[in-house]
Chains A and B, each alone.
Chain A
């Protein structure tokens, strides 16, 4: 029972992290109609920046904030130099151009930081277990991720739904020509949205960094997961991304934790230990297939289409 609670929280934490990534991806796609495969590279850069800045400043929070700013800046530069010339082009052009960026970032990181991964050690106050229920302890850092991600999700919701910038973002998503005609600087708006997406990816990367090793290509697997989430949730829908991310995070984590035991009850133990890893990796893709068969536009398609 304790294990179930713990794994459930792990799933929630992973899901919220995935949400940060998927939110940036779907924000950029929903508003700019731009498919950004290099989103995973921004996640990776966030992690590398964090590892570097934390080691440099010796302060975890300060390093993380610097890394966040660096990723935001990187996103804005990227948009300004290369990607803004691709708006309005075919989706395939986006895919190829950003695929090129992935190649670039992976080798750039290898050149700058070397082929071996980096570790990002946690400060002492984040490593203590915290009692969440009588007798149930949970690592403080994972709890902090849950809190930060929830706060960011709430902020994102407030910014998009309650502020003037958010109003423009939503207007841009429904009709870009119209808001351009109304005298809004749409170029600047797009740059801001892309920067926001990059910062969200960077935040996810830097928060995940202490849990996993910071390494080349770390953004690629998780990028595919983010895709699965926005396909399930409905492209362009932040709410859909939120619910699908939590759902996928929990299913993925619980599947990895408990599927081997469940299979062992019906299969021989060798067959179960062979099948379980592959099956649990496939679980969310199966989920996606089922969702698409029932609802090809995802569970919560953005209403504008």
Chain B
């Protein structure tokens, strides 16, 4: 894709610039709330981008992606609870645990296709949810409070709002860069080829499930990183982070932004979470509006925001 001056690229450039400059605005205006909100948005955008890698490019509709948010979060939380506060230990453990979970779940789930795959990933994530609820030592249903954020030995101070925000933005941009590299590599092309025609790729001689599984594990690992960030952001992790409706939220963010578009999930997350914030300020019953809105988006808004921007350019 050539980097031409079309509506889509302008919007993406504006959004990225806006994300980078946000702390400047908050320090000038004293509006700390915007920074808190956008820290959360950036973290969820990373999770949505990871889901987009397998859903948009790989054609694998994972309905259990929230599980990695929880696993990444619990890795940080449990280690902190046990007195291991170093981020150099916590974060690699979070990534490794997510990768391992993705490997096992992926290997089992990829035996199935289509709607079976949606349901089976959903069911496995529920299983992780019940395990977390059963962790009596680590709060069980009530969740686990993290009294100290990950310690990176003076390199970066996670308790500082602005530093933490930039760490999250860095992770998001790094994650998107990684996904961009993957999607445009030979490996990524094979995965995308599998989405459009599995049988043909098999006939050419690619081992279908191995490519899919590696892609699934990469996606889960990135989402595990988002989970570690989220736990540090809220200083708290609970089974609710991996409840299945959370996976649904992530799916909505991806589809809202545009599946298979690099920055689509970021746009989708911004719109979804801002909408949620906005509606919940108007009424306590915000889902009463959000639900039908979703239905309308599915019915009429094909291709998400990214598709809309693409149409703007053509029209």
Q: 0/1 per residue, B291-315, Cβ < 8 Å to A?
A: 1111101110000000000000000
Q: Do the beta carbons of B118 and A220 come within 8 Å of each other?
A: no
Which of B55, B123, B293 is A100 in contact with, Cβ under 8 Å?
B293
Q: Do the beta carbons of B135 and A278 come within 8 Å of each other?
A: yes
Known: A228-B123, A278-B134, A285-B123. A92 touches B61 (CB 8 A): yes
Which of A86, A91, A292 is B108 in contact with, Cβ under 8 Å?
A292
Q: Which residues of A contact B291 (CB under 8 A)?
A: 100-105, 107
Which of A104, A231, A289 is B292 in contact with, Cβ under 8 Å?
A104
Q: Do the beta carbons of A288 and B120 come within 8 Å of each other?
A: yes
| Interface of chain A residues 114 through 144 with chain B (CB within 8 A) | none
A-B contact count (CB 8 A): 131
Q: Do the beta carbons of B114 and A227 come within 8 Å of each other?
A: no
Q: For the complex, what is the distance from the CA of A42 to the CA of B251, rounded to whole Å?
A: 22
Q: Which residues of A contact B244 (CB under 8 A)?
A: 220, 224
Q: Is B288 among interface residues, defined by CB-CB distance under 8 A?
A: yes
How close is A94's CB to chain B, nearest CB, in angstroms? 9
Q: For the complex, what is the distance from the CA of A277 to the CA of B298, rounded to whole Å?
A: 39
Q: Is B255 among interface residues, defined by CB-CB distance under 8 A?
A: yes
Q: Is B93 among interface residues, defined by CB-CB distance under 8 A?
A: no
Q: Do the beta carbons of B131 and A278 come within 8 Å of each other?
A: yes
| Interface of chain A residues 56 through 114 with chain B (CB within 8 A) | 82, 85-86, 91-93, 95-97, 99-108, 110-111
Q: Which residues of B contact A95 (CB under 8 A)?
A: 61, 63, 118, 248, 251
How close is B285's CB to chain A, nearest CB, in angstroms? 5
Q: Which residues of A contact B115 (CB under 8 A)?
A: 29, 35, 91, 235
Which of A99, A110, A293 is B111 in contact with, Cβ under 8 Å?
A293
Q: Which residues of B contact A231 (CB under 8 A)?
A: 116, 119-120, 123
Known: A97-B294, A288-B123. A278 touches B286 (CB 8 A): no
Q: For the complex, what is the distance from the CA of A121 to the CA of B172, rounded to whole Å?
A: 53
Q: Do the beta carbons of A99 and B251 come within 8 Å of each other?
A: yes
Least CB separation from A279: chain B residue: B134
Q: Which residues of A contact B299 (CB under 8 A)?
A: 82, 85-86, 97
Q: For the complex, what is the distance from the CA of A28 to the CA of B297, rounded to whole Å?
A: 23
Q: Do the beta carbons of B287 and A107 come within 8 Å of each other?
A: yes
Q: Is A281 among interface residues, defined by CB-CB distance under 8 A?
A: yes
Q: Do the beta carbons of A281 and B134 come within 8 Å of each other?
A: yes
How close is B294's CB to chain A, nearest CB, in angstroms? 3
| Interface of chain B residues 125 through 171 with chain A (CB within 8 A) | 126-127, 130-131, 133-137
Q: For the complex, what is the distance from the CA of A97 to the CA of B55, rounded to whole Å?
A: 17
Q: For the complex, what is the distance from the CA of A97 to the CA of B63, rounded to whole Å?
A: 14
Known: A102-B245, A103-B290. A274 touches B136 (CB 8 A): yes
Q: Is A4 among interface residues, defined by CB-CB distance under 8 A?
A: no
How close is B235's CB to chain A, nearest CB, in angstroms? 25
Q: Do the beta carbons of A108 and B288 come within 8 Å of each other?
A: yes
Q: Which residues of A contact B43 (CB under 8 A)?
A: none
Known: A107-B288, A275-B134. A224 touches B111 (CB 8 A): no
Q: Is A296 among interface residues, defined by CB-CB distance under 8 A?
A: yes
Highest count of chain A CB atoms <10 Å: which of B55, B124, B299: B299
Which of B118, B120, B248, B292 is A292 in contact with, Cβ under 8 Å?
B120
Q: Which residues of B contact A92 (CB under 8 A)?
A: 55, 61, 118, 251, 255
Least CB separation from A228: chain B residue: B123
Q: Which residues of A contact B126 (CB under 8 A)?
A: 224, 285
Q: For the complex, what is the distance from the CA of A230 to the CA of B118, rounded to whole Å?
A: 13
Known: A85-B299, A95-B63. A278 touches B133 (CB 8 A): yes
Q: Do the beta carbons of A296 and B298 come within 8 Å of each other?
A: no
Least CB separation from A101: chain B residue: B291
How close is B212's CB to chain A, nearest CB, in angstroms? 14
Q: Do the beta carbons of B131 and A91 come within 8 Å of each other?
A: no
Q: Do the beta carbons of B295 and A101 come within 8 Å of each other?
A: yes
Q: Do the beta carbons of A107 and B248 come within 8 Å of each other?
A: no
Q: Do the beta carbons of A224 and B295 come within 8 Å of each other?
A: no
| Interface of chain A residues 252 through 288 with chain B (CB within 8 A) | 274-275, 277-279, 281-282, 285-286, 288
Q: Is B122 among interface residues, defined by CB-CB distance under 8 A?
A: yes
Additional A-B contact list (10), CB under 8 Å, known A35-B115, A289-B124 = A86-B298, A91-B61, A92-B55, A93-B298, A97-B299, A103-B294, A105-B291, A224-B126, A228-B123, A288-B120
Listed by A's residue number, 10 A-B pairs whose Cβ atoms lie within 8 Å are A91-B115, A92-B61, A92-B118, A101-B295, A102-B291, A103-B290, A103-B294, A104-B292, A224-B126, A281-B133
Ranked nearest first, the 3 interchain pairs of A and B with the lowest CB-CB distance are A278-B134, A104-B291, A100-B294
